A and B are shown apart, each in its own frame.
Chain A
Amino acid sequence: MNFPANIQLYQIVIVIFSSIMIYQGFRKYITQESGQTLYKLTTRIIVWGGMALVATFPKITNLVAGFIGIEGNINAVILIGFLLIFLMIFKLLSAIERLEQNISELTRKDSLKKINNITKK
């Protein structure tokens, strides 16, 4: 795979930004900041690394388009982008729902303390 002859400004920006994001991920993982897992780091590398790769080698999208059977590399990239965003939203909503239920459960336990005191007497 050859480097593109003319490098555009957007490609430089994306590569620099992706590198910073991947570096941040590694730093957080190595210094063991709370909530940092290998899964999170891998996801970060795949997402930002993928963006940097596509920006550096735009022709790679032809391979992706051919692989998933969609005519036109841009269409394939947009479709994958949509799917990823959809998955992320779904995961986020599930996490919010779980948190909401946990908050309700904690609120309930707190309010039922009074009943527990009555039944103990």
Chain B
Amino acid sequence: MSFEKKQKNVFIILPVYNEEKIIQETLKEIQATGYKNIITIDDGSSDDSHQKIKEFDKNIIALRHKLNRGKGAATKTGIEAAKLLGAEIIVTMDSDGQHNPQEIEALITPIRKNQCQVALGSRLKNRNQMPLFKKACNWAGNFVTWYITGLWVADSQSGFRAYSIKVADQIDTKGDRYEYESEVIREIKLKKLSFQEIPIEVRYTDYSMGKIEKQNLTNGFKTVYKLIWNIIS
């Protein structure tokens, strides 16, 4: 099967929040890999992210949340949109350029070959470049996710993932914010979905490092609180 045919039913989902500086570059990189079905969900940005996407390419499906509802909510909107458009494989990735679009193929290949239903990108390739604080947060996130869901994964907070359409229908999450990523792990465990962890690299640019600082400890605690709340409520 030609690459064009193979990529036809692959949809790339990008939740976007205040990324006007980098979003066009990210989209350009994705398109350079040959994947044309891109859905962006501007999650109520206060900057011109949405406008920048529309200016960049009219063929990109640019959706917009009128209110900021969180990364999880935006990702879910993207997945719903992809389902309506007849996607067979859905890839989610961050819009700040941290993820390398060249690795989309590695992520979706096991799904195409029916080796698994979910592919989790794990930031393992250049782990030594990961800042110590980020490493500690990542480990804490993995530990809490394991404690709550019973499934240990190498990178529970990675947003670079791929799903077969059948699985996208089954995954039922409530979390609207960063807890979404851990809830997906819970669904994998609960519904006994087959998954593979694919090593990916993360590009630590000045821009993305600035964002890492924004994802502070308070957000981490909020995520843990939300995960626990979902259990007891």
Q: Is B66 an interface residue (CB 8 A)?
A: yes
Q: Is B81 an interface residue (CB 8 A)?
A: yes
Instruction: Pick from A108, A110, A115: contact of B73, CB below 8 A.
Output: A108
Also in contact, A115 and B85, with CB within 8 A (given A108-B77, A108-B80): yes
Report whether A115 and B63 are in contact in the complex, using a CB–CB cutoff of 8 Å.
Answer: yes
Complex Cα distance A43/B233, Å? 22
Q: Is B41 an interface residue (CB 8 A)?
A: yes
Report whether B69 and A103 are in contact in the complex, using a CB–CB cutoff of 8 Å.
Answer: yes
How many Å from the CB of B121 to the closest CB on chain A?
Answer: 24
Also in contact, A116 and B77, with CB within 8 A (given A93-B229, A104-B69, A110-B66): no
Complex Cα distance A115/B37, Å? 13
Residues on B with beta carbons closer than 8 Å to the beta carbon of A116: 84
Q: Is B76 an interface residue (CB 8 A)?
A: yes
Complex Cα distance A103/B41, Å? 16
Complex Cα distance A79/B31, Å? 62
Q: What residue in chain A is nearest B82 (Cβ atoms)?
A: A115
Q: Mark A107-121, 1 if CB is under 8 A from B, else 0.
A: 110111011101100
Report whether A112 and B81 are in contact in the complex, using a CB–CB cutoff of 8 Å.
Answer: yes
Residues on A with beta carbons closer than 8 Å to the beta carbon of B65: 107-108, 111
Report whether A107 and B69 are in contact in the complex, using a CB–CB cutoff of 8 Å.
Answer: yes
Complex Cα distance A97/B174, Å? 10
Residues on B with beta carbons closer than 8 Å to the beta carbon of A108: 65, 69, 73, 76-77, 80
| Interfacial residues of chain B within 130-175, with CB under 8 A of chain A in the complex | 174
Complex Cα distance A112/B62, Å? 10
Total number of A residues with any Cβ neighbor in B under 8 Å = 18
Residues on A with beta carbons closer than 8 Å to the beta carbon of B29: none
Residues on B with beta carbons closer than 8 Å to the beta carbon of A93: 229, 233
Report whether A119 and B84 are in contact in the complex, using a CB–CB cutoff of 8 Å.
Answer: yes
Residues on B with beta carbons closer than 8 Å to the beta carbon of A118: 61, 85
Total number of B residues with any Cβ neighbor in A under 8 Å = 20
Complex Cα distance A108/B73, Å? 8
Q: Is A37 an interface residue (CB 8 A)?
A: no
Instruction: Pick from A101, A111, A119: contact of B85, CB below 8 A.
Output: A119
Q: Mark B28-55, 1 if CB is under 8 A from A, else 0.
A: 0000000000000100000000000000
Q: What residue in chain B is nearest A100 (Cβ atoms)?
A: B176
Q: Is B67 an interface residue (CB 8 A)?
A: yes
Report whether A107 and B233 are in contact in the complex, using a CB–CB cutoff of 8 Å.
Answer: no
| Interfacial residues of chain A within 23-45, with CB under 8 A of chain B in the complex | none
Report whether B63 and A114 are in contact in the complex, using a CB–CB cutoff of 8 Å.
Answer: yes
Q: Is B203 an interface residue (CB 8 A)?
A: no
Q: Is B189 an interface residue (CB 8 A)?
A: no
Residues on A with beta carbons closer than 8 Å to the beta carbon of B8: none
Q: What residue in chain A is nearest B44 (Cβ atoms)?
A: A107
Q: Mark A86-106, 1 if CB is under 8 A from B, else 0.
A: 000010011001001101100
User: A: which residues have CB within 8 A of B?
Assistant: 90, 93-94, 97, 100-101, 103-104, 107-108, 110-112, 114-116, 118-119
A-B contacts, 23 of them at CB < 8 A, read A93-B229, A97-B233, A100-B176, A101-B174, A101-B176, A103-B67, A103-B69, A104-B70, A104-B176, A107-B66, A107-B69, A108-B65, A108-B69, A110-B66, A111-B63, A111-B64, A111-B66, A112-B77, A112-B81, A114-B61, A115-B61, A118-B61, A118-B85
